[in-house]
């Protein structure tokens, strides 16, 4: 058994709406979407037109910078709409699904008989290469690179996160195949991190060709960026790749079946979900298909693809993100409260700083909404962020360097080690109500522009 890495800092947000481990619904494909906005830094080149017929696994658009990186359709059907935004920016390619689904046959392959170059080519042709995310910056991995290691987190501590042991309960062989493929891409170095709470109980601790690590602590202990910082910190010039366990299983299915299959069990969670549970869905599925889970009018509820900290507000008419296996339904907090700070006896409000007496009931779950209970104010220097960030960086100085656009200081204070999800808790506890993830995103985009 590996040594346990115990994280002292962090915060588990006690939000209500955890999904019970039961699949209540199968999402029958109707309309699916492939979204360039799911991928940082992507400049898409459209490969289809409205009215074109596609199969599951057919290329829909490619990366203009790296044309061999393809993005493929999750369903077979007809391209019904190409959605563009300002300056004709490509936002979505919507596909009307066929009643009977058909897939491109990429051919089942045995990893043991394949070279790294063949595995790379197979992933590129199928459209599963974008499953590999590069650190630093959180961009799609470059096919020409050989990373110093690949990192996989086998658990998630995000609020109401899907239980991976449940969602992948029948996918151990696919996960092992995916690991074997990744091991050849990274010259054998695949780090997989487990939770101390269920290490011996999870079937994934039996995976071969991995270097296991065990983490104990509160969120963000399950974030792969936090795990990397404690296993092998990223310095300037380093390139590592990360892959979610859900996408590892999809990679394994590709080699085992020869099909592009991004189906998954999706957790429908949140305080506004009437009966939080799982649905059998797929990347790009319409969130309107889970509207019947809403506890109230859909117009008053925010549909989030992902968790409440890092997910995207895509709305009822939006679609599940490529990397997401969770939908969060939360009420829009449109009301105002007078002198809320002067009411410490509120038992229905959670406070990370113990401003309210609700901290006396640590096991209670709260029906939170989107209300921030305050407005943005001066960005003051404090130690609030360091209490929830178990990484050896200076988040306040890093964020101020991002605001100033000072690349030298951004490098000095840890821009290579983090992406938005790593500082999401800092935004949650921020007394100044600063949009920390947005600031960090702008800083990363500046680095990509100036350091390319």
**C-alpha closest to that of 306 among 158, 439, 163:** 158
Per the structure, the count of domains in the chain is: 3
Residues 64-99: pLDDT tens digits?
999 999 999 999 999 999 999 999 999 999 999 999
Q: Is residue 426 part of a domain?
A: yes
- 56 and 130 in one domain? no
- 212 and 187 in one domain? yes
Which pLDDT does position 66 carry in this prediction?
95
* Radius of gyration, alpha carbons of the chain: 22
Regions of the chain short of the pLDDT cut 70: 1-2, 338-345, 452
Residue appearing with tokens 């009411």: 343
Q: What CATH number is attached to the domain comprising 63? A: 2.40.50.100
Q: Is residue 310 part of a domain?
A: no
Q: Which residues pair with 277 in a beta bridge?
A: 268
Full-model pTM: 0.95
Q: How far apart are CA 91 and CA 61, in angstroms?
A: 12
- Which of 257, 289, 320 terminates a domain? The answer is 257
Q: Which residues pair with 329 in a beta bridge?
A: 303
Q: How far apart are CA 167 and CA 202, in angstroms?
A: 12
Give the Cα-Cα-Cα angle 80, 81, 86 (nearest 5 degrees). 175
**C-alpha closest to that of 267 among 311, 223, 299, 224:** 311
Q: Are 24 and 279 in contact (CB under 8 A)?
A: yes
- 252 and 161 in one domain? yes
- 143 and 83 in one domain? no
Q: Is residue 59 part of a domain?
A: yes
- 228 and 147 in one domain? yes
Helix, strand, coil proportions of the chain in percent (round to 5)?
30, 20, 50
Domain that holds residue 37: 28-97
Q: How far apart are CA 16 and CA 366, in angstroms?
A: 5
Q: How far apart are CA 31 and CA 29, in angstroms?
A: 6
Q: 117: how many CB neighbours lie within 10 A of its CB?
A: 11
- 121 and 213 in one domain? yes
**C-alpha closest to that of 137 among 326, 420, 327, 339:** 420
- 115 and 9 in one domain? yes
- 93 and 139 in one domain? no
- 391 and 250 in one domain? no
351-356 long-range contacts, Cβ below 8 Å, gap at least 24?
A: 352/11, 352/388, 352/428, 352/429, 353/384, 353/429, 353/431
- 137 and 206 in one domain? yes
Q: Are 225 and 147 in contact (CB under 8 A)?
A: no
CA 75, distance to chain mean position in Å, is 21
- Which of 257, 292, 327 terminates a domain? The answer is 257
First-to-last alpha carbon distance for the chain, in angstroms, is 41
């Amino acid at each position: 058994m590996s040594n346990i890495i115990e994280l002292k800092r962090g915060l588990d947000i006690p939000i209500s709406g955890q999904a019970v481990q039961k699949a209540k619904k199968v999402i029958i494909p109707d309309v699916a979407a492939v979204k360039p906005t799911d991928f940082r830094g992507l400049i898409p080149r459209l490969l289809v037109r409205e009215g074109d017929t596609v199969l599951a696994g057919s290329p829909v658009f490619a990366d203009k910078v790296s044309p061999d990186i393809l993005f493929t359709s999750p369903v077979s059907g007809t391209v019904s709409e190409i959605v563009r935004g300002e300056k004709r920016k490509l936002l979505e390619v919507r596909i009307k699904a066929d009643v009977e689904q058909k897939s491109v046959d990429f051919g089942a392959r045995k990893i043991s008989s394949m070279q790294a170059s063949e595995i790379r080519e197979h992933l590129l042709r199928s459209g599963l290469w974008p499953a590999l995310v590069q650190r630093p910056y959180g961009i799609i991995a470059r096919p020409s690179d050989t990373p110093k290691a690949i990192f996989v987190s086998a658990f998630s501590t995000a609020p109401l996160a899907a239980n991976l042991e449940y969602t992948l309960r029948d996918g151990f062989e696919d996960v092992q195949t995916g690991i074997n493929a990744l091991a050849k891409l990274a010259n054998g170095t695949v780090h997989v991190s487990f939770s101390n709470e269920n290490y011996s109980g999870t079937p994934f601790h039996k995976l071969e060709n991995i270097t296991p690590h065990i983490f104990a602590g509160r969120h963000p202990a399950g974030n792969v960026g936090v795990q990397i910082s404690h296993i092998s910190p990223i310095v300037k010039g380093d390139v590592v790749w990360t892959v979610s366990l859900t996408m590892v299983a999809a990679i394994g299915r590709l080699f085992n079946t020869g099909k592009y299959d991004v189906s998954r069990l999706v957790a429908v969670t949140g305080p506004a979900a009437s009966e939080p549970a799982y649905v059998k869905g797929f990347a790009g599925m319409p969130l309107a298909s889970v509207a019947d889970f809403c506890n109230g009018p859909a117009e008053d509820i925010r549909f989030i693809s992902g968790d409440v900290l890092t997910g995207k507000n895509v709305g009822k008419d939006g679609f599940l993100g490529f990397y997401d296996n969770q939908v969060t339904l939360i009420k829009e907090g449109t009301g105002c409260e007078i002198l809320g700070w002067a009411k410490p006896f509120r038992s229905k409000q959670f406070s990370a700083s113990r401003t309210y007496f609700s901290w006396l009931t640590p096991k209670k779950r709260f029906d939170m909404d989107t209300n921030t209970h305050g407005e943005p104010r001066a960005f003051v220097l404090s130690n609030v962020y360091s209490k929830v960030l178990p990484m050896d960086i200076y988040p306040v100085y890093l964020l101020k360097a991002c605001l100033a656009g000072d690349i030298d200081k951004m490098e000095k204070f840890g821009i290579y080690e983090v992406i938005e999800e790593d500082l999401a808790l800092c935004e949650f506890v921020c007394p100044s109500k600063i949009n920390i993830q947005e600031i960090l995103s702008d800083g990363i985009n500046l680095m990509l522009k100036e350091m390319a």
